[in-house]
Each structure stands twice: as structure tokens, then as C-alpha cells.
Amino acid sequence: MFNTRREIFADHRVREALIELFDFEWMNAKLFHAAYARTASFFEGSQLSARGAPADAAERTLLAAFTGELRRDVLDGSYRPPVSDGTGHDRQRFRRALALFAEAGWTLRNGMLVRNDTGAPFRFEILVTKREDERVATIYATMLKRAGVLAGVRMVEGGQFEARRQQYDYDMIPAAWQQSLSPGNEQYFYFGSVSADQTATRNYMGTKSAAADAMIAALLRAQTPEELTAAARALDRVLMSGQYVIPLYHLPRQWVARWPHIERPQHLSIYGALPETWWHK
């Protein structure tokens, strides 16, 4: 995730370039035995997700005043995070990233990405507190280095990480948002413009979007499941279009071991396996 309070990440083309340079396909194959699927939506895997579906009439009505903030591929449902060839050396993605950097005013010189007007190098820090996050961040830093981006990885203990996260004292951190199938005013705490100026919120990237605020307001006005779904999907499209995060990954299935004498319902809940609903036969 990007702290877009930082000037270095303010340009959406820079954020898109950094997303291009994250080679999920190689990482998934080499580190995780292809166990993971790529996350794209902020409501991934639920009926509230806008991933893979074109905006319907209700969503387009909500978003009509904010089309300038939306990617066309997000609106028509064709958006997905960049896909590499899995070799770890996808030249096409490398060229796309450098082209985006160039549009944003950065040039690769002598193996280092520098700002055209000042000559300052493109440098930032990834703050982590878990060994598994450090591993992924270090590999990503290596991927970035090929494009001349200097990304350092700093491992800190949990208390320091939380203190810095609450004050937004970081360039990039790993983060996640827990969502329900009935989202409400907590979305202001996650993505609202007001929360961007308050400490200790979950608006980690500092999102200030009139479109996001309007979609959250629509969520709170919803009177029917259909209205709530349309507002959630519209919010999802706004957030995906903003490219505030490098989409990571998730397990597409739940793996649960059980004894043969333990039975479970034939049809799982929409929240997945709930062991408290199992019984001894």
C-alpha cells in the first residue's frame, strides 16, 4: 500500500508503474507453490465486489458525477491487476512501467530512476513488522531495483510499527481491511476524506476522494439489499481506480482438517466453514 500523503506517490502514473513491477505470478510460483490467487477488489470474493462485472444502471447513476476519477476498464468490469509471464523478467511490463515513470517526470539514468527536474533518485522505504512480510518486501525491492527504484526494507518491532502506522510515518506498509457483507459507516474510517486528516484511522493511504465519500454516503442511505450492493460496488470501483495499493493475494479456498466422525452441513455459509455448526455423528 502507498502512503499517498507522500509526494513521491501522489501521481497515479507512479502508483500504476509500481503495481506493474510487482510480479505476483513469479512470486506465487516460486514461493507459495501456486497456492494463492491475486486480490483485486476491496470486497474480494463477495457479492459486493465489482471485479469482473460491468457497472449496472444503478452504479452508473451513483458514479455519474465522478467519471473523471474512474478507469474505463474498472467501469466495464475488465480490470485486473497486471499479469506477468511468470519468468521474473517480463520485459513488456518493465517497459510499461518505465513509460509510466517517464510520463510522470522520471527517467532511468545509469541504472537509477531519477527525477527530471532535480535529479533526485526515486527512493522509499517499506516498513514491516513480520518476517513473512519482510520476505515479500525484500523480493519486491529486488524487482524494483531492476527499474532503478531504490526501495529499502525496515523491520521494526510491533509497538514501533503500530506507533508509526497511527501517525502515518511511513512510505509503504502491508495492510488489510476486514469487510462484512453489510458495510456501513466504518467505511468513512477506512476511506473517508475526513479520516485522512485524523491520526490512528485505517485510512492508511490518506485517501481524499469526493467520489469515495459520495459512495459511502450512498451506502448509509441504502434501504434495500440491491441499493447497498450497488453502492458497495460503486465504492469498490472508485477505490480500484485510485490504485492506492499494490494488490497482494489471498487463499481462494479454506483448508480445514477434520476427523471422519465429524459431520458438517452440506451447504456452507457465505462466510465459509463454521466449525461451531459441525457435530459428532
pLDDT digits (tens, 9 = 90+) for 117-158: 999 999 999 999 999 999 999 999 999 999 999 999 999 999
**Cα torsion through 154, 155, 158, 163, rounded to 10:** -10
Domain count for the chain, please give it. Answer: 1
In this predicted model, what pLDDT tens digit does every residue of 207-258 receive, in sequence order? 999 999 999 999 999 999 999 999 999 999 999 999 999 999 999 988 888 8
Domain of 80 in residue numbering reads as: 7-280
* 70 domain-assigned: yes
pTM of this structure: 0.95
Other beta carbons within 10 Å of 90: 20
Residue 272 lies in a domain: yes
Q: Pull the grid cell for residue 187.
A: 467505511
CA distances from 233 to 219, 238, 244 (A): 10, 9, 17
Domain membership of residue 143 (yes or no) is yes
Tell me, rounded to whole angstroms, the distance of Cα 68 from its chain centroid.
Answer: 20
The reply to whether 56 falls in a domain is yes
For 150-181, write each residue's pLDDT tens digit: 999 999 999 999 999 999 999 999 999 999 99
Q: Is the pLDDT of residue 270 over 90?
A: no
Q: What does the alpha-carbon distance between residue 100 and residue 122 come to, in Å, rounded to a whole number?
A: 14
pLDDT grade for 271, boundaries at 50, 70 and 90: confident
Tell me the average pLDDT of the chain.
96
Note whether residue 259 is domain-resident. yes
The answer on pLDDT for 91 being more than 90 is yes
CATH of the domain at 146: 3.10.105.10
Strands (E), 134-236: 150-155
Residue 273 domain flag: yes
CB-count burial class (<10 Å; 0-12, 13-18, 19+) for 267: exposed
Q: Answer whether residue 2 is part of any domain.
A: no
Given a cut of 90, whether residue 273 has pLDDT beyond it is: no
Q: Would 1 be classed as within a structural domain?
A: no
